[in-house]
Homo-oligomer: A and B are copies of this chain.
C-alpha cells in the first residue's frame, strides 16, 4: 500500500467536477496520482489498496478509453470492477435515473463511476447513493479526471502549472473537457485562453476567467500548453462550422500554427483524435511536442488516485 500520510486528505464524498474544489484538494489528488504513476513505472505488482472493495462502472455513453482506464485502475488496486453499459441494460426499459441509482445503491458497492450524456445527471445520481461517485463525464458539463490527468501530464513536462499560459482550442461550447480544465488550470494559477470559431464559444465564457480569441495566431501567441479539443463530426454539418477543410485551415493545429506559441509549447488532446480535422497527423505523432499518449498513461494513475481517495473504509 502506498504511504500517503504526507498529503492532506480529499475532503469530499464525491468527485463530480473540478468547479468548487480548493487547490489543496486538487493538489492532493494530483500528488497521489504522481505516486501511483511512479509506482507503475517501477513495479509490475498489483497493489491491495482496494482489496475487498467493489466499484461499478456505469456508462450511459460509449467509451473505450475512459471505461477501460477506470477498470484497469481499479484492478491494479485490487478492487473488483463491474461494468454496466446502457446498451446492455434494463435502463432502456424506462427506469428512471434515480431508481437506477437506488437499485445499485442497494447492492452496496464501494464506489460508482458514472458517465452520462446529460449535464447534472451524475450529481443527481450521487444524491441517492451512500457510496462515493466519480463523474466520468456528464454531457457538456464536467470531466474532472480528464482535467486532472491533463494537469499531471503538464506538470511532468513543465514542472509547474502556476504562471503557465494555456490555450484550449476548438469546440469550447460542447466540451466538458474544456470546462473542467478551465476550472482546474485557473485554480492552480495558470492563465487560460480559449480559441475557436464564434459559433463554438459560449457567450459570457469570460466570466469563467478566460480570455477569448477567435484566431489561432492571436490566441496561441506565447502559450506554453495547447489543449486541442475533439470536434464532434456530427456538428460539421452547416450550422457550427462550414466544412472539415475550412475548419482544419482555420483551427486545425499543425506545425505552422504551432510556431505562434512558445518554442517548447506542449500539445495535448483528450482523444479520440480526428486526424486532419483538429490536429495534423504528423504533429500528433511527434512525441517531443505532443503528449497525447502520455495523457492516456497518466489517466490510469489519476483514476487510481481518485478511486483510492473516494472509496471509504466502511
Enumerate chain A interface residues (CB-CB to B < 8 A): 40, 44-46, 52-54, 56, 59, 62-65, 68-69, 71-72, 75-76, 80, 82, 84-85, 87-96, 99-100, 102-109, 233, 271-275, 293-297, 299-300, 313-314
Contact = CB atoms under 8 A, between A and B. Distances in A.
21 contacts: A44-B314, A59-B88, A62-B89, A62-B92, A64-B100, A64-B103, A65-B103, A68-B104, A69-B107, A85-B88, A94-B233, A94-B274, A95-B271, A99-B271, A99-B275, A100-B272, A106-B294, A106-B295, A106-B296, A107-B297, A108-B300
Contact of A107 (B63, B85, B296): B296
Contacts of A82: 68, 71-72, 75
A11 B106 CA distance: 31
How many copies make up the complex? 3
Given A106-B293, A297-B108, A272 B93 contact: yes
A157 to B, nearest CB: 15
B46 A52 contact: yes
B87 A72 contact: no
A55 B95 CA distance: 28
A294 B102 CA distance: 10
A84 B102 contact: no
Given A273-B99, A314-B44, A90 B63 contact: yes
A312 to B, nearest CB: 10
Contacts of A68: 56, 82, 84, 104, 107
Contacts of A93: 62, 272
A-B pairs, 6 with minimum CB distance: A95-B272, A106-B296, A106-B293, A64-B89, A106-B297, A64-B90
A293 B95 contact: no
Given A80-B75, A99-B273, A271-B99, A90 B62 contact: yes
B87 A88 contact: yes
Contacts of A92: 62
A145 to B, nearest CB: 14
A103 B149 CA distance: 14
